[in-house]
Amino acid sequence: MNLASTASAGTTWPSSFLVVAEVLVSGLLLAGPALHRRYPVAWWFLFGLPAACCRVIRTWRPLMAGCGLAVSRRPALTVVSGLVGKGAPPPQPLVPRFGFIRPTSGGFWLLARLLPGQVPDDFVKAAPAMAEAWGMHAVRVAPQKPGTVRIAASVIDPLAYPRIPKQRGPVNLLRVAVGALETGAAWVIDLRRIPHWLIVGATRSGKSTLINALVAGLAPQPVALVGVDCKGGMELSLYEPRLSALATNREQAVRLLAALVDLTLDRMTVCRAARVRNIWGLPEQERPVPVVVIVDEIAELFLIASRNEKDEAHAAGTALIRLAQLGAALGVFLVVAGQRVGSDLGPGVTALRAQLGGRVCHRVADPGTAEMALGDLNPDALKAAQAITPEQAGTAVLASGDGWERARSHLITEADAEAIAAEYAHLTPHLPELLDAK
């Protein structure tokens, strides 16, 4: 009797398990579309990522062979000889090996080891084929270290609707999340790490929106904001309640920039007396307030129509270069923006560009501006910037010594920027050194 019961249980257990599994799979398939719409990250980890991993593993070898990244294990003559003489099948080609597939919230990434004779550009050219074979929105390839490339795939376009990340914990000084990267991560501008930035972009390309997002993030912080807008203050006057100083023409700009240079030299004297290398080495109660200088439409500072304007342009350019050279250690940071930036504006522009380590290039009207912004850092970034279309407003390519990324800033309207400046107007530091510059 016991044996019969045991046998009966043994026969019903597999069928019961299959029924339960079938019910679960059916429920997941029915709930999948709703889960995809409401909780895309959860859907990706439950459904999308396992399927993508299977596609990568299944297609890796034929994909490498089809893209010319596989290498024969034997010389061609030996293979032909074996086929003709012995009828043996040709040996399997040698393909690059890849490591663990590491998930992200909207894709995955992996490391691949190059075969002898291969370079990262070989994999860059194969990126579109990888995206097609794996069913991904885009695949980006970048060098990781000698002999290794990093392959990052994204299942959706995170730049289509960039989300503002929730703030967790205290805000780091001079660090602002201004948008989203194409990897889905937050686009963060950290002035402590990269102190000076060049932002270029044509009209309605997203340049002003990025500046709005940057000012909105800096306004609640204990920093001084200074504006230079030689187009009569048309852009930066929105933030005037939160600005410690604003120059609206070149004459005012020259005086203001000269005052900022004097402020920087005074801070240098303080640091030298305290035997520290920068203001961050000073005690917190003695540390001067950081100053972020926003220059909108840099071309207005350098354009020359008469001899007198030539002297003003030279003075403004010299002051900006000195601030860029000395400011990082002394708490003065530059954000220089313009629709057009080129060497035709004068040698001062090229010298200033060399001091601006962070670059952001939106859609531009002429290739020379993109070349000035990105050409000296990364040729691939230059190509990506030139591919931005008018429909991709807000999309930009950002580059630094660390590499390059595609990104898009959050939409901060002029009304939002004006409201934020008014809300935090009481935090505007009083800088007596800049009073005479008005």
Q: How far is CA 264 from the centre of its chain?
A: 29
Half-sphere exposure of residue 285: CA atoms within 13 angstroms, side-chain side: 0
In DSSP terms, 152 is beta-bridged to: 109, 140
Tokens 């920087």 map to which residue? 264
Q: How far apart are CA 411 and CA 212, in angstroms?
A: 8
- Closest by CA to 358, choosing from 331, 339, 336, is 336
Q: 379 is written with which tokens? A: 């040729």
pLDDT at 114: 94
Note the pLDDT tens digit of each residue in 128-139. 999 999 999 889
Half-sphere exposure of residue 209: CA atoms within 13 angstroms, side-chain side: 19
Give exposure, 134-151, as e/b (b: 16+ Cβ within 10 Å).
bebebbbbbbeeeeebbb
pLDDT at 252: 92
Q: Positive or negative CA dihedral for 37, 387, 190, 335?
A: negative
Q: Which stretches within 173-305 are classed as H helix?
A: 207-218, 250-274, 299-302
pLDDT at 347: 73
pLDDT at 59: 93
Q: 265 is written with which tokens? A: 């030299």
Contact partners, residue 216, CB within 8 Å, separation at least 6: 412, 416, 417, 420
Q: How far apart are CA 184 and CA 190, in angstroms?
A: 18
pLDDT at 167: 54
Q: How far apart are CA 129 and CA 394, in angstroms?
A: 27
Q: How far apart are CA 352 and CA 330, in angstroms?
A: 18
CB 138 within 8 A of CB 131: yes
**307-330 vs 347-355: helix crossing angle, rounded to 10:** 10
Q: Positive or negative CA dihedral for 359, 360, 363, 364?
A: negative
Half-sphere exposure of residue 69: CA atoms within 13 angstroms, side-chain side: 26
- In terms of Cβ atoms closer than 10 Å to its own Cβ (0-12, 13-18, 19+), residue 299 is middle
DSSP one-letter code for 280: G
CB 334 within 8 A of CB 293: yes
CB 311 within 8 A of CB 269: no
- Closest by CA to 162, choosing from 320, 392, 399, is 392
Sheet holding 196-200, edge to edge: 186-190, 175-181, 403-409, 395-400, 358-361, 196-200, 332-338, 291-296, 224-229, 243-247
Query: What stretches in the chain show pLDDT beneath 70?
Result: 1-37, 73-91, 161-170, 305, 401, 436-438
CB 364 within 8 A of CB 169: no
